Amino acid sequence: MNSLRHFNLIFWDFDGVIKDSVDVKTDAYLALFPEAPKNILEKIKSHHLEYGGISRLEKIPLYLQWVGVQPTNQVIGEYLDQFANLVVQKVISSPWVPCVEQVLRQKKSHQKFVIVTGTPQTEIEEILVQLQINSIFDRIFGAPTQKSKAIEWALQNYNIGKEDSILIGDSKTDWLAAEETGIQFLLRETDNGEFFNHYSGNKIKDFIGFI
């Protein structure tokens, strides 16, 4: 696959698809737990990479349990704030996935572009504004909205067929959302975890050559 122009509805994950920011998030999760044993840190890293599309709202309570901290609402809130402080500017300044910015700006008049990401809603909106690409997207869905719910909303509200729709993602979570809603999936290859080692569907390393 080397063109997206025949799709009327394109769903975009953000980290690892638009910005090469997956490592930023990985490093931030590990930095939250500096005292954790190495095997727990490896477990956190593997889980985050395998389930890249899952929100920190789900991951941080889980990781707190793994390191033996009671995930009360107050503790979760403190760790969420720490995480946001660690990542927002680093995500904005992280490199673009090669040629993705040109692909986004060459959006055709008949196309709808929708962001579906595990990043919290207000945070992804702020990031897109600072990157000056917010106006490209017809709708932005961040956490806590589930990706499959966002896809179903767009299919219904834009009245576009599943066969004319595609999700570009880099995680098992993204693939599952596409499977669940019956739309096509395009994998952007990163260090995606074990799941994609034998993935035989459509995949790309970058957007070089896309029109």
Cross-strand pairs, 11: 114, 167
Quote the Cα angle for 130-188-158, to 5°: 65
Structure tokens at 50: 């395998």
Total-model pTM: 0.90
Whose structure tokens read 């500017």?
89
3-state secondary structure of 83: helix
Domain segments of the chain: what residues? Answer: 9-20+95-204, 22-93
Cα–Cα distance between 37 and 167 in angstroms, integer?
37
**Positive or negative, the Cα torsion across 145, 147, 148, 151?**
positive
Whose structure tokens read 């896809």?
151
pLDDT at 210: 84
Cα–Cα distance between 96 and 16 in angstroms, integer?
9
Phi, psi of 134 (to 5 degrees): -60, -35
**Nearest of 79, 92, 77, 78 to residue 24 by alpha carbon:** 92
Structure tokens at 200: 């035989």
Instruction: Give pLDDT tens digits along the chain (211 positions).
Output: 778 999 999 999 999 999 999 899 999 999 999 999 999 999 999 999 888 878 999 999 999 999 999 999 999 999 999 999 999 999 999 999 999 999 999 999 999 999 999 999 999 999 999 999 999 999 999 999 999 999 999 999 999 999 999 999 998 899 999 999 999 999 999 876 677 788 889 999 999 988 6
The fourth-level CATH superfamily of domain 9-20+95-204 is: HAD superfamily/HAD-like (3.40.50.1000)
Which tens digits make up the pLDDT trace of 91-150? 999 999 999 999 999 999 999 999 999 999 999 999 999 999 999 999 999 999 999 999
